[in-house]
Amino acid sequence: MFPEPGTSSLTATPAATAVFTAVLTEGPLSRVTLARRLGLSSAAVTKAARPLIEMGYLRELAATERTGPGAGRPASPLAVQADREFFVGVKITADELIGVVCDLCAEVRTAAHRPLSGTGVGDVLAEIGRLVGDLLDGPGGYRDRTHRLGLAVSGDVDRTTGLVRYSPFLHWRDVPLRERAASATGLAVTVENDVKALTTAEQWFGEGVGAESFALVTVGTGIGCGLVVNGRLVSGSYGVAGEIGHIGVDADGPECHCGGRGCVEAIAGTEAIVRQARDRSGRPDLTIDDAVALARRGDEGIGAVFARAGNAIGIGIAAVANLVGPARIVVSGEGLAAYDLFEPHIRAGFERQAFGAAVQCPLSIRPLPFEEWARGAAAVSIQTLVAS
């Protein structure tokens, strides 16, 4: 059914893929519920589920609900056998790697951080190899049941080929990351933009389950956005759909690393905030933590930097609501540690710029640690396995 490198497999059918995806993202589910939800006959669901049960991907739970009014035999819901297979996910930042091992339901079983001494591709790949080895050979005995590695990296990523076209914070261009990581680890590798990976995890295992449309906006070193429309993650023809960090909101604003001017990220990214706060304070050694502390103590100049950043983010979010019309927008990212300084300005910018009824789109605030980004990388591997 689902191929593993070096092993034989059955051929996936559309019905089997649909059944497994439904149970994975919304289960446990009875065959009757699956048939109703997927528009299949009960016989078709049973036929699709049988090889999945035989291969250990699905299991039957104890009988609970009855199959229908007056039916004599209770249904046995189908559930995913979470420990059938494990997946490594690694989030690559400019100064560290965050790695996790997840089960088939994307639950994190173990996690580790590794500092990076540099961002050279060879150095990063060598450290990925060591991190993956430590995760798989440590307590838990995951190696024998782990065949896939997901990598999440910021920037312009071609998920189909595993090519990192451009990663601004790593200073990479045209890096065949999938190919090189597969050679370094011996695993089947998927590579995805970090925001899209996090969005995949939310779509399949988080707030996006069952939602036809939603957007995930991340605030931090960069300003990113993942979009799900009609139940599908949107990448666009060029793979960069959702890059609200590079929407221009101030024609006279600062230059952005992308080559544009007045982008949301050039105003509201962490480096941009630090740069503006240093100019306002006259302190060239000021850190983001220093800036947050000063703003919270009432420093008006530094507070104005966060206000400007929040307004830019709000305008970017409004652009998403106006153009795509998602049912809800989740705001996340490491920058939420200072969310109290952003929030009123994000909401004000959003409400001012959102058109008509789009202003009613709810904003859900969800702080996520970096382990969740690594989990997103693993979720992309899980999704790739199912899609295969």
Q: In this predicted model, what pLDDT tens digit does every residue of 193-244 receive, in sequence order?
A: 999 999 999 889 987 787 788 999 998 888 989 999 988 888 877 777 788 8
Looking at 202-211, 253-262, 375-384, which range is the least confident one?
Answer: 202-211
CA atoms within a 13 Å half-sphere pointing along the CA-CB vector of 324:
30
Helices 370-387 and 194-205 cross at an angle (nearest 10°) of 70
Q: What is the pLDDT of residues 281-309, one digit of tens each?
A: 999 999 999 999 999 999 999 999 999 99
14-80: CATH class: mainly alpha
The predicted pLDDT at position 387 comes to: 84
Pick the CATH number of 209-365 from 1.10.10.10, 3.30.70.860, 1.10.3720.10, 3.30.420.40: 3.30.420.40
Structure-block tokens of residue 352: 């001012």
Fold equal for 84-200+372-387 and 209-365: yes
pTM: 0.85
Beta partners for 167? 172
How far from 19 is each of 14, 197, 201, 203, 374, CA to CA, in Å? 9, 23, 19, 17, 26
Q: Which CATH architecture has domain 84-200+372-387?
A: 2-Layer Sandwich (3.30)
Measured in residues, the chain has a length of 388
Q: Find, among 86, 89, 108, 87, the residue nearest to 99 by Cα.
A: 89
List the end-to-end C-alpha distance of the chain, in Å, as a whole number: 8
* Cis ω for the linkage preceding 69 (within 30 of 0): no
Q: What is the pLDDT of residues 91-120, one digit of tens each?
A: 999 999 999 999 999 999 999 999 999 999
The predicted pLDDT at position 48 comes to: 93
Would you say residue 7 has pLDDT above 50?
no
Burial of 64 (0-12, 13-18, 19+ CB in 10 A): exposed
The structure tokens 């528009």 sit at 39
